[in-house]
């Protein structure tokens, strides 16, 4: 029997990049996967991929930065599947700029999606997990939240906040048989990182001990582990998936 047979996973930001990789991997492990994001057409494309592999998936469009949207996504997921066993808070954006040029709008936009979005989704979903006395919450942070990065003060702050949020709610929910962990990806080849200049990529590669960039599947494998029964005694942890960048 597949690891996650009979379970439902809700993955935010699941239409591309790391989120898409996670959604596909959890579906391969037997979970019914609800994919949330702002682009319904892109979400439906991932659902088609899941169904072509004989998995089961649903798309729910909305913005995690909007509390009402988060609540609606969770309610629709529960209506469609009856439960939420795994929540992956992956939705994230960047609005890079040096501090002196960083607008307040771009500061709030990144914090609202990356950090408040995780709060909105977790608050909306956790009640059903408490009722069923089980659950796994996995938040996608970043090594930038551990190391910082010039030109990404807003992104670093949001991802460091995700780590603090993870540890705090892990303490709150441990007695309810709900685990809460985070993964901190390094340089993963996605649409988001493709926008970097070749010069930036060369410089970044020099800082990666394994001398290669990661793939979404590298992160998805760790998320699958944290969502599986094998990780039932792990909570409040941050696992870096970065080829050694932050060691």
Q: What values do phi and psi take at 94, rounded to 5?
A: -125, 150
| Nearest Cα to Cα of residue 29 among 232, 230, 185, 183 | 230
b or e along 149-158 (b: 16 or more beta carbons within 10 Å of the residue's beta carbon)? Answer: eeebbbbbbb
CA distance 96 to 103: 10
Indicate which residue of 155, 158, 159, 245 is catalytic.
155
CA distances to 127, 128, 238 from 123, in Å: 7, 10, 20
Annotated active-site residue 233? The verdict is: no
Residue that has been written with the tokens 């979404």 in this structure: 216
| Nearest Cα to Cα of residue 245 among 139, 96, 142 | 142
Residue that has been written with the tokens 């010069």 in this structure: 199
Both tokens assigned to 75: 């309610």
Residue that has been written with the tokens 């898409």 in this structure: 20
CA distance 19 to 22: 5
Sign of the CA dihedral with 220 first, then 224, 230, and 235 last: positive
Catalytic residues, by residue number, are 155
């Amino acid at each position: 029997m597949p690891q996650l047979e009979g379970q439902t996973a809700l993955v935010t930001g699941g239409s591309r990049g790391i989120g898409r990789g996670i959604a596909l991997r959890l579906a391969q492990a037997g979970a019914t996967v609800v994919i949330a994001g702002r682009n319904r057409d892109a979400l439906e494309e991932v659902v088609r991929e899941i169904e072509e592999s004989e998995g089961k998936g649903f798309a729910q469009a909305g913005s995690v930065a909007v509390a009402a949207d988060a609540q609606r996504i969770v309610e629709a997921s529960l209506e469609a599947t009856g439960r939420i066993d795994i929540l992956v808070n992956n939705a994230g954006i960047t609005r890079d700029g040096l501090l002196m040029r960083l607008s307040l709008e771009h500061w709030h936009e990144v914090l609202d999606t990356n950090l408040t979005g995780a709060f909105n989704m977790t608050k909306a979903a956790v009640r059903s997990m408490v009722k069923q006395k089980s659950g796994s919450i996995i938040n996608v942070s970043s090594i930038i939240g551990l190391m910082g990065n010039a030109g990404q003060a807003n992104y670093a702050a949001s991802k460091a906040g995700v780590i603090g949020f993870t540890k705090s709610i892990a303490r709150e929910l441990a007695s309810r048989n709900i685990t809460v962990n985070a993964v901190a990806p390094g340089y993963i080849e996605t649409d988001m990182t493709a926008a970097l200049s070749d010069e930036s990529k060369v410089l970044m590669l020099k800082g990666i001990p394994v001398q290669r960039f990661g793939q979404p599947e590298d992160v998805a494998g760790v998320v699958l582990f944290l969502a599986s029964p094998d990780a039932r005694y792990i909570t409040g942890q941050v696992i870096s998936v970065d080829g050694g960048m932050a060691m």
